[in-house]
Each structure stands twice: as structure tokens, then as C-alpha cells.
Chain A
């Protein structure tokens, strides 16, 4: 597929973004990282579950939702491409657009996770 998983492949559970993420999340949970509830979520809002006021959600939950959305979008594009190759009456532009959408989402997610991982590493390398 056109979607590439460079960043996610660096983590265990190569073929499944969610499995890779669970591993990733455990590492962050050790340090009790929490997302600011007022911080707007940068990823597709439809992929996020609604947050009740007063409820605190970990950074992990936000990321997990986002990755679930990316995973769904990727599966959807894969399904369309498979059906298209099987000769189903699907418009080629619909296949290409869903692939482009999935690709963009994966890039965005991997950029965010890389940035967070960099921040974590910077903190860990601090001289005390």
C-alpha cells in the first residue's frame, strides 16, 4: 500500500498501529503524562470521543482515539482498493482520495508521535 509506517514500524507490533501504540502508551503511562483538557485535539475531531467536563483524559487516551481513527481510515481505503481491483463498480477517484486521506492521517499521526517522543527524550537527557 501507499501508506507508510516508518515511524510506527520502529515500535513492536509492526503490522497493527494499535498494538504498536499500546506498547508506546505504556512507556508514557509510567511518567503519568496527562494532556491538558483544554488543549484542542489536533487530529480529526470526529475520531475523538466526546469529553465530559471535569473528566481528565490522559495523553494516551487522546492518542489512542486518534490512532483508532487513522487505523479505520486505513482499513477503509484498503477495502476500497481491494474491491476496486476485484472489479467492483467503484470510481477510481474514490479509491485514490481515500488512500490520500489515509496517507495524510498516518503522516500527521506519525509527526505528532515523533514530536512527543522527541520531547520525552529531551527531558530524559536533562542533566540534574
Chain B
């Protein structure tokens, strides 16, 4: 393992966080989308993370996104008689996106991104400090 592995691990985590933010922004953008290509209202999406393992050495090399999971819980039924997607009783099935949950997730992503940047900076500082040994 090279001493620069920390940078690669941080980079993988930062990429994963960016992907997470992407799905959050998708959820927010589609929080009122009642139509999707596959039919029905938009279902909330969330990324699935997996640890990245180096098969040859058996060492952990960070994290990766292996795909997105679709939240299948049905969204709320809202009474909107004039809506084009309303059923005969005037109810519309809305996306199961909770804006508050998405905001909380977004704050988590921001904090996680910050933490990983801090770790990369700490690694860089450690390398620079090591050059001062014996000076």
C-alpha cells in the first residue's frame, strides 16, 4: 500500500458523496412529478454504497456506489380534483418524497464531504510534517 492511498480513499468517498447529493437533488426535483417513463408517480431513489476491497492484497480501498435503490413505499394520496392524473374520486398519488427527509440527508452529505476533505488535508499535513523530521 502506497503512502498516498489515503488520497485515493478520500477521493472515492468524495465521489460517493457527490453521487448521493445527485440522487437527493433528483428526489427534490421530482417531489411533485406524478408521471414517470415506467408509469405512476416518481419513487424516491437512494444510492447503495459498498466498501471497495483490493482483491490482491485484501485491503480496503474506500467506498463505491453500486447502484440506486428505489423506495417502493406508496406516496400520499392527495385530493386534487382538477389534476390530470386524478382518479375518478379526485385523488392523486403523489411521489413518496419527503422534503424534510431530503434536507436532512443533504446536510449529512455536506458534513460527510467536509469530513473527507479534512482527512485528505490531514494526510497532506502529515506528509509535510514528516519532512521536518531531523531538521
Contact = CB atoms under 8 A, between A and B. Distances in A.
Contact of B15 (A91, A100, A107): A91
A101 B26 CA distance: 33
Q: How large is the interface on A (under 10, 10 to 19, 20 to 34, 35 or more residues)?
A: 10 to 19
A44 B3 contact: yes
Interface of A is mostly: helix
A111 B131 contact: yes
A104 B18 contact: no
Interface residues of B, number: 15
A125 interface: no
B128 interface: yes
Interface stretch (B4-12, B80-88, B97-105): B4-12
B11 A104 contact: no
A97 B7 CA distance: 7
A91 B131 CA distance: 30
Contact of B11 (A45, A46, A94, A103): A94
Interface string B107-135: 00000000001001000100110010000
A102 B66 CA distance: 29
B2 A45 contact: yes
A40 to B, nearest CB: 12
Contact of A104 (B14, B15, B128): B128
Interface in B1-46: 2-4, 7, 10-11, 14-15, 18
26 contacts: A44-B2, A44-B3, A91-B14, A91-B15, A91-B18, A93-B14, A93-B18, A93-B117, A94-B11, A94-B14, A97-B11, A97-B14, A100-B120, A100-B124, A101-B4, A101-B7, A104-B4, A104-B127, A104-B128, A105-B4, A107-B127, A107-B128, A107-B131, A108-B127, A108-B131, A111-B131
Interface of A: 44-46, 91, 93-94, 97, 100-101, 103-105, 107-108, 111
